[in-house]
Amino acid sequence: MTAVKKKELLDHLVKTQIVDAVMTMIKKNSSITMDGIARTCGIAKGSLYNYFKNKEDLMGYVHQAILEPIRESKSMILDSRKDPLTRLYEFIDSVFHINEDLHFYFRFMEQERSVAVEKKERSDIVMQPLTRLCRQGIEKGQFIDVAPDILAEAIYGMVIGPMKSLPLVSYKKQNLEKIRQDILRLIERIIIV
């Protein structure tokens, strides 16, 4: 292995460790500081600055490290060649799976990022592909015939809205499954033809 490859591997490992440390700190509701991150990682605080200019840069990296797999997952589901109804159910399942694992992170980020940033991420990751899915579902006669963007907003509100408003105690398996079933019933009564 070349020296360059070893450095790339080491950098990747350290950055992964940093993401894990931040996630652990968020789960524990700890204050996120460069000192705390370094301590949690077991590295010198100065070492963090070899990878990131400041805390904002580090948190931006963590956020992208969390979002990228979600973005890829949503894209694989919403842009696949499966029929729109199947993709809608897969989308709903993926929202519950992601929230089961990352609800604490999204709660933290609601307080940390601006409305403009949240709106752009929402549009890029969910709304644009969901609107395309709705358009296809309408064209195939599987979804109610209304404006696709309005339908996408309604689905977003029904599926993701409860995740944003539920108290943390609701994130127990049985509660999530009941909520999922209720959302599916709503989708089947309101969206599906």
Per-residue pLDDT at 46: 93
The token duo for 149 is 């963007």
Q: What averages of pLDDT result for each successive group of 10 residues across the chain (193 residues)?
A: 84 93 93 94 92 94 93 92 96 89 83 80 90 97 97 94 67 74 94 94
| CATH number of 133's domain | 1.10.357.10
Query: 60 lies in a domain?
Result: no
Q: What mean pLDDT, rounded, does the chain reach?
A: 89
Residues 44 and 90 in one domain: no
Residues 32 and 79 in one domain: no
Helix, strand, coil shares of the chain, percent, nearest 5, are 80, 0, 20
Residues 40 and 85 in one domain: no
Per-residue pLDDT at 167: 59
This model's pTM is above 0.75: yes
Q: Rounded to whole angstroms, how far apart are CA atoms 11 and 53?
A: 15
Whether 22 and 105 have beta carbons less than 8 Å apart is answered as: no
Query: 6 lies in a domain?
Result: yes
Per-residue pLDDT at 185: 95
Domain coverage including residue 24 = 1-51
Alpha helices for 123-172 (secondary structure H): 128-139, 148-159, 161-165
Per-residue pLDDT at 119: 84
